[in-house]
Amino acid sequence: MSLAGPDPFFPRLAPQVERLIDLALEEDLGPGDVTTQALIPPEQEGVAHIRAKETLVVAGLPVAARVFARVSPALRFLPRVAEGEEVGPGTVLAEVAGPVAPILTAERTALNFLMRLSGIATYTRRLVALLRETPVALVDTRKTTPGWRLLEKYAVRLGGGANHRFGLFDGVLIKNNHLTAVGSVAEAVRRARARVHRLLRVEVEVSTLTELKEALEAGADLILLDNMDEDTLAEAVRLTAGRALLEASGGMTPERLLRVAATGVHFISMGALTHSAPAVDLHLRLLR
């Protein structure tokens, strides 16, 4: 699923992103910006810069642009850098020009989107760099902020990571609770094969080598190796012998990534890419 249409800075954003922007503005603005309304005459014009205060990977400019446009169509948003670009402290990310009052009203909501999404892209880029000499792909999970999944997964891609399934609808992932309810790996895979579209990949979560063997015998396409140490992961790769793709997950930290990659798995998934990435530091300064 894409974030935006062909225009990169005033795009037709996906409907769920438009709804999120509306909710964020409603939350912050309420019935009106009482401070700005009291201090700034509507005819006053100005220019503001959004600057980085640290090294970061830029993500979210189209969303910030849309926030300013939603508050006032009279505002002009001019990006100075590209999405996915790594920039240093002091870099101007964008210029906003027009009536001062709506610039100040939209400021915090626009920065919140930029800081959060750039934080995810920055953190992802740092971890992907650790794996650059390996063939392993770093992927995200569904552990996203409710309502933000499209944006957060977009930021992961800008950081160089890959997206796992977007939701419950675009891939079968048989997890431990499914297995408890169904009774066995073999029966769960059989039901999935019989009842879902044949183009959907069937993935099974396993936590032991015995379960791995069951999943292989059942014909799973992809097997998630949950919370296994490196020795067990390496043995799982040996036992699989290319019969399925393997994803390592659970307890992943930056310090473990290279050791896990060395076991021979195809994917490493990290919920931390979206649920624990720190926001970056940005500010907006009015120049005149």
Is there a catalytic annotation at residue 226?
yes
Q: Give the CA dihedral 151, 129, 173, 210, nearest 10 degrees.
A: -160
Is there a catalytic annotation at residue 143?
yes
CA nearest neighbour of 68 among 96, 32, 26, 29: 96
Which of the following is catalytic: 108, 238, 259, 285?
Answer: 108
Close Cβ partners of 182 (under 8 Å, ≥ 6 residues apart) = 174, 188, 191
Is there a catalytic annotation at residue 205?
yes
Single-letter amino acid, residue 254:
P
Which of the following is catalytic: 80, 126, 142, 143?
Answer: 143
Residue 79 and residue 61 in contact, taking contact as beta carbons nearer than 8 Å: yes
Terminal-residue alpha carbon distance, the chain: 40
Three-state SS string over the chain comes to CCCCCCCCCCCCCCHHHHHHHHHHHHHHHCCCCHHHHHHCCCCCEEEEEEEECCCEECCCHHHHHHHHHHHCCCCEEEECCCCCCEECCCCEEEEEEEEHHHHHHHHHHHHHHHHHHHHHHHHHHHHHHHCCCCCCEEECCCCCCCCCHHHHHHHHHHCCCECCCCCCCCCEEECHHHHHHHCCHHHHHHHHHHHCCCCCCEEEEECCHHHHHHHHHHCCCEEEEECCCHHHHHHHHHHHCCCCEEEEECCCCCCCHHHHHCCCCCEEECCHHHHCCCCCCEEEEECC
Which of the following is catalytic: 33, 205, 211, 214?
Answer: 205
Which of the following is catalytic: 19, 175, 259, 285?
Answer: 175
Is there a catalytic annotation at residue 33?
no
Is there a catalytic annotation at residue 70?
no
Which of the following is catalytic: 33, 140, 152, 226?
Answer: 226
Active site (catalytic) residues: 108, 143, 175, 205, 226
